[in-house]
Amino acid sequence: MTISKVAVLVAGSWGTALAAVLADNGHQVRLWTRNPDQAAEINSKRTNGKFLGDALLPQGIEAVTELQTALEEVCAVIFVAPSAAMREVARAAAPYIGKDVLCVHATKGFESGTHKRMTTVLAEELDRKESSLAVLSGPSHAEEVVRKQPTTVVVASAEQHQAESAQDLFINSYFRVYTNPDLIGVEVAGAIKNIIALGAGLSDGLSFGDNAKAALITRGLTEIARLGDAMGANMLTFAGLAGVGDLIVTCTSTHSRNWRAGSLLAKGLALDEVLNQMGMVVEGIRTTRAAYELAKLYDVQMPITEQLYQVLFEDKSPKLAVESLMGRGRTHEIEEVTKAWSRHV
């Protein structure tokens, strides 16, 4: 493995965890943050307490606050900015990124307002083709990755050599990386699963039990597949790590911000109170609005998303939302997606 300089933008929980993986692989990692105190903590104590508690980061990570410094002479840039900040970060970084630099993002969401996927945003700001970019996704909690607990993810790019370059950069004994050519499917799955995790948190917060959550996860996967198919994804992607794998871990783990946010909403907290208590970005909330509008644009049924939209933005009670889902008209479980699946089998 060639040792290289890599920039990670920004120093949230997932960005820091990925920086740790890269440092464990021997790369020289510059982790960018706007916060001087956070940078000082990472450099002096090798911790990022706000996001990852007392987890000790490996040597080889240098936190910097100047974007140009972070990007000097790097062979790869890993974008891990929140979806709402991705365009701003990419625009600021673009002048310092050469055309031969590998660009990967690991953000799960759509851009607010435009509903664009993150690779579309990056392609526009970096003046590149989407096919030259890669996305890293899959079932992966930062809290476990930074402690070197076994994790398996997928890197997708329309250009196989880009996916393999990212795979080589990250893969090690505890962080296994597969490749996938379906960029759209991996991004759609990563975004929409956050909505379903909000629903799972609501269900658990209301003590509806395992039966209800299993149904929610299963029908949630159908919603992901419906929208993904309409947007041009390969349906087989949703049976893999980026689809059902990420959906399971996000809907069943207390590490999940989206699950925790849903659980707090079920307890009667207002959305503003939930966000204040979380203290971190909850991508599923923004994504719910985007997916609700995308469903209308592509004319696909997404009843779970619709009910969560009403809970988040129209003050519908969580209990009434579940009752609305359970009271829907009769339908066939398989028929609605069979044609879409058959195109890819």
Is 193 a catalytic site residue? yes
CA distances from 104 to 87, 139, 186 (A): 14, 17, 13
| Residue labelled with tokens 């790019």 | 157
Q: What residues have CB less than 8 Å from 52, skipping those under 6 apart?
A: 13, 16, 17, 142, 143, 146
Query: DSSP characters for 292-343?
Result: HHHHHHHT---HHHHHHHHHHHS---HHHHHHHHHTPPP--TTHHHHHHHHT
For 66-88, the three-class secondary structure string (H helix, E strand, C coil) is CHHHHHCCCCEEEECCCHHHHHH
- Among residues 5, 108, 148, 193, which one is catalytic? 193
Say if CB 186 and CB 107 are below 8 A apart.
no
What six digits make up the tokens of 81?
Answer: 């900015």
CA distances from 174 to 38, 144, 208, 223 (A): 27, 10, 35, 31
**Active centre residues (catalytic):** 193
